[in-house]
Structure formats: C-alpha cells, structure tokens
Amino acid sequence: MPTAPSFVQKIKRDIPIHFVVCRDGKNRLCHYFLMARPEKIKLLKAVKTGLVDMKDYGTILASGFGTQPSAATRRKLMELYNFDCETLE
C-alpha cells in the first residue's frame, strides 16, 4: 500500500519551495525557504534595490543568516515538514 504524500509533496504540486539568498537592511547575507508561486519569484528577482518584505512574495518556511541553512534549520524543516532542504524535496 503506497504511503500518503507528505505535506511538502502536496504543496509542491501547486506552490513550489524556493531557496532565496539576499541581503537584509544591514547588508548581511541571509536566506529564506519561501513557498511561492513561480510568478511571485520572478517579481522578487526583478527587485534590484530597496528593501522587500518576503511575506509579500510567499510563505516563509524558514530563514537565517548566511548563504547556507544551519543544521538547526535543516532539522526544523525535516521535523516540521518532512522536507530535505539539501535536495529541495
């Protein structure tokens, strides 16, 4: 008997998860796991200057500083969503 799809498998059918690296208001590198429709990501990528509120583009599943998620963030995504952020699956 096949297992039921995970939460992430269900939402990825309609709204994919994107890994976004950017800079915050203090010019620090930061990253987001953003559940967003592709057209919203295109709009986000078109922003070249100024501050944006990521919540305007999608649902933030996790975020942190730097260009890579911490071990704690990876664990959180796996525990809460059964989501392997290393493979975006």
- Flag whether 59 is in a domain: yes
H, E, C per residue of 1-68? CCCCCCHHHHHHHHCCEEEEEEECCCCCEEEEEEECCHHHHHHHHHCCCCCCCHHHCCEEEEEEECCC
- Flag whether 86 is in a domain: no
Per residue in 19-70, pLDDT tens? 999 998 899 999 999 999 989 999 998 887 788 899 999 999 999 999 999 9
- Flag whether 89 is in a domain: no
Instruction: Tell me what pLDDT residue 6 has.
Output: 62
* pTM assigned to the model: 0.77
HSE of 46, CA atoms in CB hemisphere, 13 A = 7
Domain holding 51, by residue range, is 7-81
Domains held by the chain: number: 1
Instruction: Tell me what pLDDT residue 5 has.
Output: 60
- Flag whether 2 is in a domain: no
Instruction: Tell me what pLDDT residue 12 has.
Output: 56
* Euclidean distance between CA atoms 37 and 49, whole angstroms: 22
Per residue in 72-85, pLDDT tens? 999 988 888 888 88
- Flag whether 14 is in a domain: yes
